[in-house]
Amino acid sequence: DGKVVAITGASSGIGEEIALLLAERGARLVLGARREDRLADLVTRIGKAGGTAVHVRTDVTRAQDLRALVALARDRFGGLDVLVGNAGLGMVSPLDDLRVDEWTAMVDVNVKGVLHGIAAALPVFREQRSGHFVTTASTAAFTVVPAMAVYAGTKVAVRAICEGLRQEAGPEVRVTTVFPGFVHTGFAAASSNDEVRARLTAMRDEIAIPPDAIARAVAFALEQPDGVDVNEIVVRPTAQS
């Protein structure tokens, strides 16, 4: 319906599917991630299918990259209706592995990345007197399992930040947080622990749902009439305990 939607982590998995579905439904897209070749390819595919999308290299650990993403939306499309903060890292491993660099990377991307998006878009939403934050959290925010402590911690933080944002946002700004269960993406292969990676990959191949399931949940939240704010959506495979 012509909404201008910026998406972080749009180069693969859930973010890519959100982009494809929203483009099909008429949104004008600004796509961000670090892998520009994949973004350029996605923009081409969307264009060939009759949609509208542009892209810019965006590393969510850099506040200025989020500002540039939002600025591109305003320059090209005259404003920003929705920021989908979807970029995330799942470098999961047992705490005993002491992968401190990976813990830090997850905090930087999953938590600070979301904060940088809020910092870039909130002033614009205030000025426009409208806007919608959609953020990809995780069911790990509800259930901590071994090897997932730090990842879950980042997603608990995301949930808290988004709930605080909702409370402070006021009637003109909507806040939706999506909590996916196991989704079939590259996520399971990101662990540097061989045993964990093998376990997650096997589980993924057995029970994971396709990423378009999450895209439909996002579209549902975006398509609500004025005054209706869908705040938290949990989407799990039926086989996930």
Is 117 a binding residue for ligand NJP by CB under 6 A? The answer is: no
Tell me which H or E stretch contains 131: strand 131-136
Largest Cα–Cα separation, the chain: 50
Closest CA to 57 of 37, 77, 75, 42: 37
Q: 99-104 — which CB contacts under 8 Å span 24+ positions?
A: 99/192, 102/150, 102/192, 103/150
Segment interacting with ligand NJP (CB under 6 A) among 46-54, 57-65, 160-168, 222-230: 57-65
Smallest distance, Å, CB 241 to ligand NJP? Answer: 14
Residues 134 to 193 in contact with ligand NJP, rule: CB under 6 A:
136, 138-140, 180-183, 185-187
Smallest distance, Å, CB 231 to ligand NJP? Answer: 17
Cα(162)–Cα(80) distance, rounded to whole angstroms? 19
Binding-residue total with ligand NJP (CB under 6 A)? 31
Segment interacting with ligand NJP (CB under 6 A) among 20-28, 58-66, 125-133, 191-199: 58-66
- Nearest to ligand NJP of 153, 180 (CB atom): 180
Closest CA to 134 of 236, 71, 218, 65: 218
Binder among 23, 60, 196, 230 for ligand NJP (CB under 6 A): 60
Smallest distance, Å, CB 171 to ligand NJP? Answer: 28
Contact positions vs ligand NJP (CB under 6 A) = 8-9, 11-15, 33-35, 58-61, 86-90, 109, 136, 138-140, 180-183, 185-187
Catalytic residues: 151
